[in-house]
Structure 1
């Protein structure tokens, strides 16, 4: 073989080896970069010890515990006052009951009146739902003094008390559509409008349900008590 041709062949082979090696190195570098990017996209592990020692998180936790404790204590106080259930009270107990709670709903009833039993049914359902308001009933026949003082002429008569003062009253079913078959929601809406019951925090209420039907009329001032 011609010496020049031989050297040319060796040069070509050497150059080919260099290019092949360069290609392999480039491929390795590309793979390494892809692996680095993939590993960097994976979130790092959360240090639970560091998270638990976070002052802000500890404060939020402490505040939440304090709020729950306060709410539980408040509920216990209201339970001792008879909240959460619909109860019968005597004439002798009446004054202490209406002055002992901020908001009280009292139904003056007659044992044999059908409409009084209808009111009883609805108030019994509402009492545990609105825990911050006290729900009681008084037998009008056995409470002549307060029937006279409160000028109760017609039964059923539901009187709303705020801080011991009678502020509103519902006489008969006039403001509930004038029908015996009204739903609990109708009475509930009337009480909500008067502000004597307030939904608890987190209690879901459909906005449409909060508005009484258009056919209902608000109670008139003639049916209201004042101090």
Structure 2
């Protein structure tokens, strides 16, 4: 046999032996992993069975269910009082609305004022995200008694009420940067500092796109409304 041919054959056989050995090692490794995973799965099932019989765990579960039920009932009750949306009220409704909830934000506005429309857009965006606070608006032209009583001279004027008492007010946009293109986030931060709304939890519904598009969308919409009047 040709020496080169012998060398080639031996080389092929050696390569084949190496591949066969590698295949065996790989098979052992796979079987070992499968066995470990099976063992782990059994242990997990066993631990879960033990936990399900744990009185402390059952109590935690029951407490969580009770808390969720209480929160749902609270939201339903708040919704009955007009929370969760930005609503128009009348002068006749005013006292009942601001005394009927612990925290109320009331926007005194004029239908034809461009800046009042800007404020409308932002408050409408915030109302569903801050369910504990009631958001309402009142046409200043149709509420002369309360406009005089509250000393309202400049619009938009947003008055913050706690237990029926006016605790603070936001007049125009001076505290929001003094410009028309302030963001919803800017207004939200202002209201948070005043304590009239509370900060949402990380898992609460908080659509950041409203903030990102706030300046452009609010201004565009307000202009559109103005043109159509």
Name the TM-score, length of structure 1 as normaliser. 0.69
Secondary structure of residue in 2 paired with 1:196: coil
The separation in 1 between residues aligned to 2:192 and 2:51, in whole angstroms, is 44
In the alignment, what sits opposite 2:90? 90
Aligned length: 170
Q: CA deviation at 1:49?
A: 4.4
Q: Structure 1 residue 187 and structure 2 residue 187: aligned?
A: yes
The secondary structure found in structure 2 opposite 1:126 is helix
**Could you tell me which residue of structure 1 aligns to residue 52 of structure 2?**
52
Using a 3 Å threshold, how does the CA distance of structure 1 residues 136 and 174 change in structure 2: closer, same or farther?
same
Aligned match of 2:173: 173
Q: In 2, Cα distance between the equivalents of 1:142 and 1:151? A: 15
Deviation of residue 105 (structure 1)? 0.4
Larger helix percent: 2
Provide the C-alpha distance between the structure 2 equivalents of 1:136 and 1:108, rounded to a whole number of angstroms.
9
Partner of 2:121: 121
Partner-residue secondary structure (3-state), 1:137: strand
Q: Secondary structure at the match of 2:122?
A: helix
Equivalent positions of 1:22-41 (< 5 A) are: none
Tell me how large the CA RMSD over aligned residues is: 2.3
CA distance in 1 between partners of 2:65 and 2:146 (Å): 44
* Range 163-172 or range 175-184, more displaced: 175-184
For 1:197, what is the secondary structure of its paired residue?
coil
Moved over 6 A (4+): none
Cα distance in 2 between the residues matched to 1:57 and 1:162: 40
Helix, strand or coil: the match of 2:128?
coil
Alignment partners' CA distance in 1, 2:109 and 2:203: 30
The equivalent of 1:102 in structure 2 is 102
How far has the Cα of 1:202 moved from its partner? 3.6
Greater Rg, structure 1 or structure 2? Answer: 1
Compute the TM-score of the two structures, normalised by the length of structure 2: 0.69
Structure 1 residues 96-135: Cα deviation after superposition (integer angstroms, max 9, x where no partner)? 0000111000000000000000000000000001110000
The 5-angstrom pairing of residues 128-167 of structure 1 reads 128-167=128-167
SS of the residue corresponding to residue 167 of structure 2 reads: strand
